[in-house]
Structure 1
């Protein structure tokens, strides 16, 4: 290869340095700006320091080590970006892409808007991948989303030697906490930045914090206490999918009242469950889905009658469309399903938040 280049140089007069790849230097992501944690003091890329909450169920503690909703912001003049990262030994979930589960998702800001730039494709427990190349010169602002469904143990960002790399600014304003199921966490979006809290953030400029707990958003008292403790300008409760009809009746009031006690004026928005596609086929799921959503509506109406203020409700109708094409596995939305969900909930959420000067 080297001899071929020398011959080409002699024939064309092009300098050899034009073909030489620049060295890549790596920086620990922890030295840059990390956004999206439930609390800033969470260790590493965990969403919460679960050691401070011994009463949390073990499954919830494990899920809070997943990096869902966390992103790294940085600026660089490099024309290429690499990443080295290590995750756990767990298998990729069968209803998710490897990129969403264990990979990275990069956005660049152009004309004031976040635009997809590339992905980090995982190749094993530890990966090294060139996310972008041949970009234009000059300083650019980036947002790198971390894996939705795995613990990230190490992350380094690579740029060309001689280029600058700096921590980025916080890209979003305010804090809207979304407590919910695997759908909130991101299953089954194609990549981390396509999870609906992340998309809401980029579309609105507001910070929608991902408190998604796959299969485990059941409104247990210790979890409700944590939700209420976390500071936010508004709270969205999308936890119907994981809670049984009985749990919804027994636990919703405690969750809502706990939030209201700590945050007297913050709006609380309850979202019914999407209508799972399996409920059109499996008759047991038909009755369960109906009861889940009916019971949540009853709890909302009861709380309103009891004087709980600043409480809002978004119903399930049309959340992922009616053509039965909006899920990956009959339960979790695909990108099409999430897009339809956003078309319905975003205008309602923005209208509610505008009443409080949050938008």
Structure 2
């Protein structure tokens, strides 16, 4: 994998849409790059340990780890203008997901204590080089910003253009010191949110004020023990296991779910872990059996005295009203579906994280 630090950068001072700007490498200090637990400084934006091979993790997950779901850049600036210049590894395009979500960026600004959506970068089909004004006339002095990276496809370089002489500094620490990790399927990865910030994992981490580690791999969350052991070596505030959808059948889920949970638990006995079943529950015999397998992992943990585990029934995630309005295809949530998942999951995560901090 190519080292981002080796990519040539020219024209660090430039005019864009009549605005004179100084461009800064957003993948280096003082900018904070988040969402890549195993990345070394200057390394590629890759979501898994680079040493993993197909003997440990399925090949599709290794490829999808190049996708930047959950990745973000945080910084503070007093610049009145902010321009994004980025080079995508690929402008990922799908027939059931807006390109603003799969290949776009979105920017949030801290206002009155909360992060508020400010602008989205909308690439065209197959566009790899982006130069897009996100803010033109900001006011209010030095302010915190959060730039979410694309949910699908990869990113090779990110520069942020600011007005000449503007300040740029590191962001404040998160209120929750350690990241929240999500492991699962295409739904976890963000399919099919209209923007990266509308994925349920992003909604949750903004509300909690925590770094997000998104290990959602479309069709490829198979519950491999090597990944569970790697997760167990991380310092986390909470982990959400949501890979029901990607187990090829109930037998695979039964063979992997309990062992995956236990592999994490052996290394992190007091890590809050939320176990979640599929949100597109239809009441079929297969759906019920899969849910029971996940519930059984939870029941066994409780029976062993585990105080840091919780089960959330996926059937409840979309709520009771207009459930059929929550997906684009009967499976993948749209923005309404992701918002309802977020609303159902937020109080549970708050309770779990508080339980650990109050020990």
Q: TM bucket by the smaller chain? A: 0.7 to 0.9
Cα gap change, 1:245/1:73 in structure 2, threshold over 3 Å: closer, same or farther?
same
* TM superposition shift of 1:186: 0.9
1:189 and 1:139 map into 2 onto residues whose CA distance is 30
Task: Look at both structures and tell me which one has the larger radius of gyration over its CA atoms.
Answer: 1
* TM superposition shift of 1:358: 6.8
Which ranges in structure 2 are unaligned for 5 or more consecutive residues? 1-16
TM-score normalised to the size of structure 1? 0.86
Cα gap change, 1:217/1:340 in structure 2, threshold over 3 Å: closer, same or farther?
same
* TM superposition shift of 1:321: 2.7
Cα gap change, 1:309/1:355 in structure 2, threshold over 3 Å: closer, same or farther?
closer
1:89 and 1:67 map into 2 onto residues whose CA distance is 11
1:48 and 1:184 map into 2 onto residues whose CA distance is 15
Do the aligned partners of 1:253 and 1:303 also contact (CA within 8 Å) in 2?
Answer: no
* TM superposition shift of 1:133: 1.4
1:112 is matched with which residue?
113
Do the aligned partners of 1:118 and 1:131 also contact (CA within 8 Å) in 2?
Answer: yes
* TM superposition shift of 1:308: 4.7
SS in 2 for 1:355: helix
* 1:258 pairs with 2:263: yes
* TM superposition shift of 1:223: 2.5
Structure 1 stretch displaced more, 293-302 or 243-252: 293-302
SS in 1 for 2:68: coil
* TM superposition shift of 1:229: 2.8
Do the aligned partners of 1:326 and 1:333 also contact (CA within 8 Å) in 2?
Answer: yes
Which ranges in structure 1 are unaligned for 5 or more consecutive residues? 1-19, 281-285
* 1:27 pairs with 2:30: no
* TM superposition shift of 1:22: 3.6
- 5 Å-filtered alignment, 1:1-359, equals 21-31=18-28, 32-41=31-40, 43-51=43-51, 55-89=56-90, 91-123=92-124, 124-136=127-139, 138-173=141-176, 174-243=178-247, 244-276=249-281, 279=282, 286-306=284-304, 308-322=306-320, 323=322, 324-357=324-357
SS in 1 for 2:27: helix
Do the aligned partners of 2:86 and 2:157 also contact (CA within 8 Å) in 1?
Answer: yes
Do the aligned partners of 1:215 and 1:242 also contact (CA within 8 Å) in 2?
Answer: yes
1:119 and 1:90 map into 2 onto residues whose CA distance is 15
SS in 2 for 1:118: strand
1:28 and 1:313 map into 2 onto residues whose CA distance is 42
2:7 is matched with which residue?
none
Do the aligned partners of 2:34 and 2:211 also contact (CA within 8 Å) in 1?
Answer: no
* TM superposition shift of 1:91: 4.0
Do the aligned partners of 2:90 and 2:153 also contact (CA within 8 Å) in 1?
Answer: no
1:9 is matched with which residue?
none
2:8 is matched with which residue?
none
2:242 and 2:269 map into 1 onto residues whose CA distance is 20
1:91 and 1:345 map into 2 onto residues whose CA distance is 29
Q: CA RMSD in A?
A: 2.2
1:257 and 1:26 map into 2 onto residues whose CA distance is 47
